[in-house]
Amino acid sequence: MPIQSRNVNVALIQRAATLDPTENLQATIADIEQAAKQGAQIVCTQELFRSQYFCQSEDHAKFDLAEKIPGPSTEAFSQLAKKLGIVIVASLFEKRAAGLYHNTAVVLDADGAYLGMYRKMHIPDDPLFYEKFYFTPGDLGFKIFETKFGNVGVLICWDQWYPEAARLTALAGAEILFYPTAIGWHPTEKAEYGTAQHDSWETIQRSHAIANGVYVASANRIGHEGDLDGGIEFWGQSFICNPSGTILNKASVDQPEILMAECDFAMLNEQRTHWPFLRDRRIDAYSDITKRYRD
C-alpha cells in the first residue's frame, strides 16, 4: 500500500532591510500575508529581519535593537499565525537579561500558540561578522517544534556549516530544517572568491538534506548594507531542497521574493529506506566526535 502524501507548502521571505525596525516588521508581515494567500502553510523569515545586519561593527548602541521574547514581535506573529492559520518561523535579536543577548528564532503554530525558541549555537567572529560581540552562544541545544503541519527544526546562519547541528536536529525528529540567514560577499572579494563562496554555502546545506533525509529551507536577505571596508553585498538566492538534495525552488540574487515549494514529508521514509544512512550509523564508534581535535 503506497504511503499517503503529506504535502506542505513552505515559503521563505527574502527581502532587503531598511534602518527602521517597525518598517521591516510591517513589510515582513505583509509578505507573510501574501505568502498565505498563495497557499503557504509554513513561512520563515531571513535572519534578524527587523534590522539591517548590525554585526559589521562593534557598537554598543546596537543592543537597543534587541527585544524580550515573548515580546512585541512574538505577539504580532502569534496574532498573524492565528489569523492566517499558518506556522511562522521568525528570527529575532533577543534581550534575555541585562548584558545577555542571543540570536534567536521563535516558532508560532497555526493556532497562534508560541511553541518556543531556538538560540543560535555557533557564533562567528570574522571581518564584518562580529557576532561574538553581541550574541551569547545558545544554551537550549538542538530541538524540534511539533507544529500542525510537521516537525520543524530551526538552525541559524553559521549553524548551517556544521553537520553535527543538522544531524542532531534530524535525530530529534525534524522533517525540515530551516536556516534563517544573513550571508553575502565582501565586494572586494566577490570577483575572486564569490562563486566558490556561494557554491560552498549551497552545497553544505544540500548535503545536510541528503545525509539526514530531510528537507532544507534557507532564507537569505538581499541588498548592500554598510560602508565599513566596503560593507556586505548579500547574495540572496534563498532556496528549498528535498531530502535527495534536489533544489525545488531558488530565489534571485537581488530581488525581494516570496519563495515557495511543496514539500512531501512522506518522502522522508522513502528516502531514508533507499539511502539508509541513519540505519547504518556506527554510534558505538563516534565518541571522539566530542573532542576538539585528536591529541
Examine residue 19 and state whether it is found in any structural domain, yes or no. Answer: yes
- The structural domain count of the chain equals 1
Evaluate if residue 1 carries a pLDDT over 60.
Answer: no
pLDDT tens per residue across span 63-72? 999 999 999 9
pLDDT tens per residue across span 157-197? 999 999 999 999 999 999 999 999 999 999 999 999 999 99
| Domain at 101, CATH number | 3.60.110.10
Radius of gyration of the chain (CA): 18
Examine residue 96 and state whether it is found in any structural domain, yes or no. Answer: yes
CA distance 1 to 210: 25
> What pLDDT, on the 0 to 100 scale, is given for residue 73?
97
Does 3 or 36 have the greater pLDDT score?
A: 36
CB atoms within 10 A of CB 141: 11
CA distance 143 to 159: 13
**Residue 265 contacts by C-beta under 8 Å, 6 or more apart in sequence?**
6, 8, 150, 175, 176, 215
CA distance 25 to 35: 15
| Confidence bin at 295 (pLDDT 50/70/90) | confident
Record the cell numbers describing residue 190, joined without a space: 566577490
Contact (CB, 8 A) for 208 and 177:
yes
Read off φ and ψ for residue 241, nearest 5 degrees.
-130, 155
> Domain range holding 283?
7-290
Mean model confidence pLDDT for the chain: 97
Examine residue 295 and state whether it is found in any structural domain, yes or no. Answer: no
> What pLDDT, on the 0 to 100 scale, is given for residue 294?
86
Record the cell numbers describing residue 234, joined without a space: 548579500
pLDDT tens per residue across span 115-136? 999 999 999 999 999 999 999 9
CA neighbor of 13 nearest in space, from 24, 2, 3: 24
Q: What mean pLDDT comes out for the span 195-215?
A: 98
**What residues are labeled active site?**
47, 120, 157
> What pLDDT, on the 0 to 100 scale, is given for residue 3?
62
CA neighbor of 9 nearest in space, from 248, 272, 193, 214: 248
Evaluate if residue 89 carries a pLDDT over 50.
Answer: yes
3-state SS string for 136-182: CCCCCCCCEEEECCEEEEECCHHHHHCHHHHHHHHHCCCCEEEEECC
Q: What mean pLDDT comes out for the span 36-46?
A: 98
Examine residue 1 and state whether it is found in any structural domain, yes or no. Answer: no
Helices (H) and strands (E) in the chain, counts: 5, 17
CA distance 284 to 291: 15
